[in-house]
Amino acid sequence: MEFERAEQLLTEIKEAKPQNTEELEAFRIKYLGSKNIIKPLFSLMGKIDPQLRKDYGLMLNKVKTTAEEKYRQLKIELADEQQTESRKGIDLTAPPPPSHKGSRHPVDIVMNRVIRIFSKIGFALAEDREIEDDWHNFTAMNTPEDHPARDMQDTYYLRDFKNLLLRTHTSSVQARVMTSQKPPIRIIAPGRVYRNETISARSHCQFHQVEGLYIDKNVSFADLKQTLLYYAREMYGPDAKIRLRPSYFPFTEPSAEVDVYWGLESETDHRITKGTGWLEIMGCGMVDPQVLTNCGIDPEVYSGFAFGMGIERQALLTYRIEDIRWLFENDIRFLRQFHSAI
C-alpha cells in the first residue's frame, strides 16, 4: 500500500509538465515545499514490515531526489525559454545604443591647458608629494613657526607625525626643486592642495593649484608681467586683460594678486566675479631673496619670479559652473558634459 503510493508519486513527478513559472512554483510547493506530499509517507515508516523498511526508505529518497532534480531542470529550461521569448522582436541588425565613453574632469582639462601653455615657453613639469613636511611647505618659503602668515592657511597636520602635513599650496614644490636643481630653473608644478576650510559654494577643503617658478640671472618683474599676460591671452583669448594688485606673500617681494577680466554677460558671470567682471586667479611676485638663500641659491647672482594659481576658479569661469562642490561630487550626469582632446 505505502509502496504503491510512493510508486505513484514517482510516476506523477516524472510526468509533470509545468508550462510556466507559476506552474513550476506549484510543483515546488507540492513536492518540495515545507508541507510537501512526500513528507507524510516518511512518517509511515513505523508501519512497514521491518524487513522492507530499508527498501521503503530508499524508495522515498528516490521520490524526493527525483522531484529535486526535475525542479532544477525545469527551472533552467523555463529561464532559457523566457530569454528566447524576450529576444523575439529584437532587430539584431540595428546599430547598438551609444555607449558612454569616459570624459575628462573639468579640473583636469583646465590644468592640462595651463601646463600646455607654459610648456610652450619652456616650463618643465615638476610634480611632487601632497604629504609634505613643515620645512618645505612653510619654513623654506619664509614662513617660520611664529610667522603670522601661517594663520592665513589653515593646515591639516598628520596626527602621529609631528612634522608632516597635507601641503597647503604647491609653493612647497618650489622648495623641492630649488634644493635639488641648479638655476636656470623654469618649472610648472600642478597638483592638489588642502586647507581646513568650511566647504561652501566658493571654497573647498581640497583644490588644485599650478605653481610656476623661474630662476635665472637678471629675471625682472617685467618678465613676470609679460609671462602672465601671455598666459591670460592663451587661456582666455587675444583680448584678455589682466590687472595686478599689490599684495603680500611671505615668499615673494614685491607680491601681487592677478585678476583676469571676464566680463559680465550672464547671471553666472555676475555671481562668480561678484559683479565686477574681474576674477582673482593667482598670487605672484619676485622670489624673496631669503627663500633663495634658504634653498641654497645665491640671491646676489640669481633672481626669479613665482606664481601660484587656483584651478577650480578658472574651471568655474570657463564652464560657468556656479558651485565649486560640483567639482568634487563625482556625479556622472555632471561629468559627462565635459569634452576635451587633452
Positions that interact with ligand DAH (CB under 6 A) = 169, 171, 211, 249, 252, 255, 283-285, 306-308
CB of 308 to ligand DAH, least distance (A): 3
Q: In whole angstroms, how close is the CB of 159 to ligand DAH at the nearest point?
A: 23
Nearer to ligand DAH, 75 or 129 (CB): 129
Q: Which is nearer to ligand DAH, 20 or 226 (CB)?
A: 226
Q: In the structure grid, which three cell numbers stand for residue 233, read together?
A: 591671452
Question: Please, which residues bridge with residue 172 across strands?
Answer: none
Nearer to ligand DAH, 255 or 294 (CB): 255
Residue closer to ligand DAH, measured from CB, 194 or 307: 307
The type of residue at 196 is: N
- Closest approach of Cβ 245 to ligand DAH, in Å? 12
Minimum distance from residue 302 beta carbon to ligand DAH (Å): 16
Residues facing residue 245 across a β-bridge: 257
Cα 179 to Cα 126, 191, 307: the distances in Å are: 13, 19, 18
Nearer to ligand DAH, 106 or 191 (CB): 191
Q: In angstroms, rounded to a whole number, what is the distance separating the alpha carbons of residues 293 and 289?
A: 6
- Which grid coordinates are listed for 1? 500500500
**What are phi and psi for residue 283, nearest 5 degrees?**
-110, 155
Positive or negative, the CA dihedral 145, 151, 155, 160 is: positive
Cβ proximity of 210 and 226 under 8 Å: no
> Which of 22, 28, 111 is closest to 71 using CA atoms?
28
Using the minimum distance from each CB to ligand DAH, give the nearer residue, 231 or 249.
249
Between 9 and 170, CB nearer to ligand DAH: 170
Pair 113, 188: CB distance under 8 Å: no
Phi-psi region of 204 (alpha: psi -120 to 50; beta: other; left: phi over 0): beta
Identify any residues that bridge with 59 across adjacent strands, giving them in sequence order: none
